[in-house]
A = this chain, B = another copy of it.
Amino acid sequence: MSIIENKLTSLQLTLPTVSTPLANYVPCVIAEPLLFVSGQLPYENGKVKIVGQLGATVSEEQGIEAARHCMLNILAQAKAALGSLDKIKRCVKITGFVSATADFTAHPKIINGASDLIVAVLGDAGKHARAAVGVSSLPLGAAVEVEAIFEVGG
C-alpha cells in the first residue's frame, strides 16, 4: 500500500468511488508536471450529499463537510488518474466555489474543510495556494465545488 494511502487509513478516511463527469469532459488532465482535477461536488454514492446555499439553507458545519467531501473526491479522481497517490509531489492550488448569499462572509472557513483535509493527508506538500469565492449556484444545487491543481511526477 502506498504511503499516502496509509496516511488516509490512519486518518480513518476512505476515498469515495469516483463519479463520472456530468458531461463531455474528463476528471483529470495531466500537462506535466501539473495535474488538473475537474471541479468536484460533494458526491456520495452517486448523489450530491449537501445541497443549498450558505447563508440560507446550509449551515457552516454542513458547508465545511461539503468542502471536505469535495477534496475526498479530488483525491479519488487523482488516484484513478495516476494509479498511485504517491505520484503527487504537492498540491499547488485549489479554487473553492461556495454557493452563497450576498451577505455571506465566511467562505474561508467553509473551504478550510478542503484545505485542512489535504494538509492532513499530504503534510507540508499539501500546503497550497487558494481562492475562495461565493457563487450564485452550482451544478445539481451543490453547496460547494472545489477544483485542484497538483504537481506530479516520478
Contact = CB atoms under 8 A, between A and B. Distances in A.
Copies of this protein, total: 3
Nearest to A146: B131
Given A36-B92, A93-B36, A23 B108 contact: yes
Interface residues of A, number: 60
Contact of A145 (B133, B137, B138): B133
A140 B134 CA distance: 11
Contact of A39 (B21, B25, B130, B136): B130
Contacts of A36: 92-93, 129, 149
A104 B25 contact: no
B25 A102 contact: no
A132 B132 CA distance: 15
B137 A103 contact: yes
Contact of A24 (B33, B90, B119, B138): B119
A102 B29 contact: no
10 contacts: A25-B130, A29-B128, A31-B90, A36-B92, A37-B129, A100-B136, A100-B137, A106-B139, A132-B139, A136-B136
